[in-house]
Structure 1
Amino acid sequence: MAYHQDIKIGVLGGGQLGRMLLQSAIDFNLELHMLDPDAQAPCHQLASSFTQGALTDYDTVLSWGAPFDVITIEIENVNVEALRELERQGKKVYPQPDVIALIQDKRTQKQFYQERGIPTAPFILTENREDVAQHVGFLPAVHKLGREGYDGRGVQKIASKAEIHRAFDKPGLLEKLIRFEKEIAVIVARSSTGEVKAFPAVEMVFHPEHNLVEYLFAPARLQQHLSEKAEDIALKVAEELKIVGLLAVEMFVTPQGEILVNEVAPRPHNSGHQTIEANYSSQYEQHLRAILGLPLGDTACKIPSAMVNLLGEAGHSGPARYAGLEQVLELSGVHIHLYGKKITKPFRKMGHVTIVDTSLERLQEKARFVKDTLKVIA
């Protein structure tokens, strides 16, 4: 597709990822048109047009998508059949509907890795809680909902037979609990022309209870051969899927130096926010380049970085206030991104802070300071 400024791009989802995608689209003088179920979604005042509507409703997605040349997503919980019909009508839909459908279900995702020789933790497919109870010998394990798990929801650790009651009573998968040293992610872009590039691996630290990324460091503190291995695995996943757009590949690094794919997201991702300040091309710019068939950008880090997620404080619900913001802004190398969400609630993603510094020690100190100082309260 020849690049021209009049390309009409529709984006399913109008959350914070869409908001940052919009900021990148402005540099290309592109208009983005958003659909989101929340009338007050972060993009509602910023998009070229904003439509309130259900992302999972066939008729809504089909009629909304009719005017656009290219349709993309910032969340994967969307109506795939409507996207398939739009594709049949000649629209470019990236990532492709079949890729979204495969990734929407963690069961088909894991089977895909197994069939394609992509390293992943051992697993058993389960239909209900009773099914899980038949596999006590497989414990300790993590039980994951097949569909609709998101932002830490739909994941339950089961250490022993006494904890079987925690299992979901819906189709899911029982995944062997892996001892790992690090959780990392590699974001890959694959263009409609077939060009592929990976961002350097990042290291993620998760909230111990809520399974949300609290902060990350980029590039990951890994031996060179492990960094290269992680990138190779992520590139293989993208090539096997033949995805067009971005693919975030989350992985475990074991004490033995194994790298196992945990799961993937076919869109911009929390593990790539820091690329806005720290890399030559951001993940958002790269996504636009990929879906428009433009040459992919340079993914190299300009400077080491850390990213701290701003989550709503426990016990606080209501109009958001940002305590400690002034103290954080006094630090050098700090950039605050607020997502435009007026109402906070416990552990809601309200923003993030990127920190850049040439010293890893200073990055760690600043990340801890930001995490301890900047609080989203009501």
Structure 2
Amino acid sequence: MPTKNDKSYFSSNFTLGILGGGQLGKMMLYETRKFDIKTKVLDASDEAPCKIACNDFVKGDLMDYDTVIKFAEDVDVLTIEIENVNVDALEQLENKGKTVYPPTKALRTIQNKATQKLFYVDNGIPTADFSRFAYKSEIKDSIENGGLQFPFIWKAARFGYDGQGVKVVRKAEDLENLPSGECIAEKMIDFKNELAVIVCRSASGEVKTYPVVEMEFHPEANQVEYVICPARIDDKVAQKAQEVALKVSEKMKHVGLLAVELFQTKDDEILVNEVAPRPHNSGHYSIEASYTNQFEQHIRAILDLPLGDTQSKVAGIMVNLVGAEGHTGDVEYQNMRDILGLKGVTPHIYGKKQTRPFRKMGHVTIVNPDIAKAREIAQRVKETIKVISK
């Protein structure tokens, strides 16, 4: 691996390997292109958004041990843009001296939501009360014996994403169609706001945080609709959120980005919901609004380069573009011309050719010196653009 003092990352044979070829990887590649850092990407889909932007694309299963081992043979540093990868393979690569970020130990903890929650308890990190179950049938037994009460949040321990693997359970019938594997049942929190803090940590331990953002969720899809930066909260609450996020980062000893999702309770306490060890939806606003966007920061951190300025240049709001209900098939973006005519609006289209209900297809950033005005324009964007099938 190059030393801190040389510049052999740039315009050289140094190769950064990325496991996952989705939109997060694609936006990471904007930054490697900017720095002329050679990249190699592994993804199972021939139509992965990363395919057009990396130097070398390999089609393969991220969960297959041998595929991941073989992919990493000729890369110098290996990172991820999705958690669902074969951690046993990554551990073997680490043991053989390959540089892997985030470290396998942190990734193992995060990959499993039950393990993640136990980590918070063991490290004195505030989080919602929960119960862990090996099988769904154990939930029914717990309810019948008075150990668990409605309503609660059911979460699959593994492989959840974009609102999948999470469900509000209000009555016994709500359990019927849920998968039967390992899961947690989490106490429902009466919260004021859902917040997030992105912490960046370099390989040598330099740490910075981005401003606290506020997240507004779609009530049905359990997906973020708007990310608002800065969050419209009291400074003391923001400071507390930063402190909790930094504690999670310190205890987890990750390298790269760690997105910490938080609840602000009615009493202004801060509870950790869950974390992601990679660039995150809550940081997309940073491409237009921050001095150093989250994707560049991730690259800086894993290559042990000095971390950039995390402050915002201007207030920013992100709107997720998701597939409209009732539409599946070849995608069409309606009214793009109309939103491009609005002040401070920048759309990002991820390159997924097929749409389906609630699939993340892109996002739009709105920047404005006045956060209230930015939120107003964001609402117009949301009401104007339509992601439908042809």
Structure 2 length-normalised TM:
0.95
Partner of 1:86: 93
- Please say if 1:311 is aligned against 2:318: no
Cα deviation 1:271-300 (Å, max 9, x = unaligned): 000101101110001101100111111101
Partner of 2:115: 108
1:354 to 365, 371, 375: 365
**What is the deviation of 1:179?**
0.6
**What is the deviation of 1:140?**
1.6
1:226-375 to structure 2, matched below 5 A, reads 226-375=237-386
1:43-62 to structure 2, matched below 5 A, reads 43-62=50-69
Aligned residue for 2:52, secondary structure, equals coil
Specify the code of the residue in structure 2 equivalent to 1:288: I
1:65-76 to structure 2, matched below 5 A, reads 65-76=72-83
| Contact 1:143–1:168 (8 Å) recurs in 2 | no
**What is the deviation of 1:131?**
1.2
| Contact 1:70–1:91 (8 Å) recurs in 2 | yes
Cα deviation 1:343-369 (Å, max 9, x = unaligned): 211111111000001112211211111
Partner of 1:191: 202
Tell me the matched-pair count.
378
**What is the deviation of 1:164?**
4.1
- Equivalents in 2 of 1:45, 1:33: separation in Å? 11
Cα deviation 1:112-151 (Å, max 9, x = unaligned): 0000000000001112222112333432210111111111
1:176 to 165, 187, 200: 187
Q: Which stretch shows the higher mean deviation, 180-189 or 85-94? A: 85-94
Specify the code of the residue in structure 2 equivalent to 1:182: N
- Equivalents in 1 of 2:178, 2:17: separation in Å? 38
**What is the deviation of 1:167?**
5.0
Aligned residue for 2:164, secondary structure, equals coil
- Equivalents in 2 of 1:307, 1:118: separation in Å? 29
Partner of 2:137: 130
Cα deviation 1:159-194 (Å, max 9, x = unaligned): 234544355421111100011111111111011010
Cα deviation 1:42-71 (Å, max 9, x = unaligned): 011111110110000000000010001100
| Contact 1:312–1:349 (8 Å) recurs in 2 | yes
Partner of 1:12: 19
| Contact 1:156–1:166 (8 Å) recurs in 2 | no
- Please say if 1:216 is aligned against 2:227: yes
- Equivalents in 2 of 1:361, 1:229: separation in Å? 24
- Equivalents in 1 of 2:177, 2:314: separation in Å? 43
**What is the deviation of 1:314?**
1.0
- Equivalents in 2 of 1:140, 1:167: separation in Å? 15
Aligned residue for 2:321, secondary structure, equals strand
Structure-2 change in CA distance of 1:220 and 1:291 (3 Å): same
- Equivalents in 2 of 1:163, 1:270: separation in Å? 28
Aligned residue for 1:44, secondary structure, equals helix
Aligned residue for 2:317, secondary structure, equals strand
| Contact 2:201–2:257 (8 Å) recurs in 1 | yes
- Equivalents in 2 of 1:167, 1:131: separation in Å? 13
Cα deviation 1:242-281 (Å, max 9, x = unaligned): 1011100001101100110000000000000010110111
**What is the deviation of 1:316?**
1.2
Aligned residue for 1:366, secondary structure, equals helix
- Equivalents in 2 of 1:332, 1:145: separation in Å? 41
Deviating 4+ runs (over 4 angstroms): none
Unaligned 5+ segments in structure 1 are none
Partner of 2:41: 34
Partner of 2:31: 24
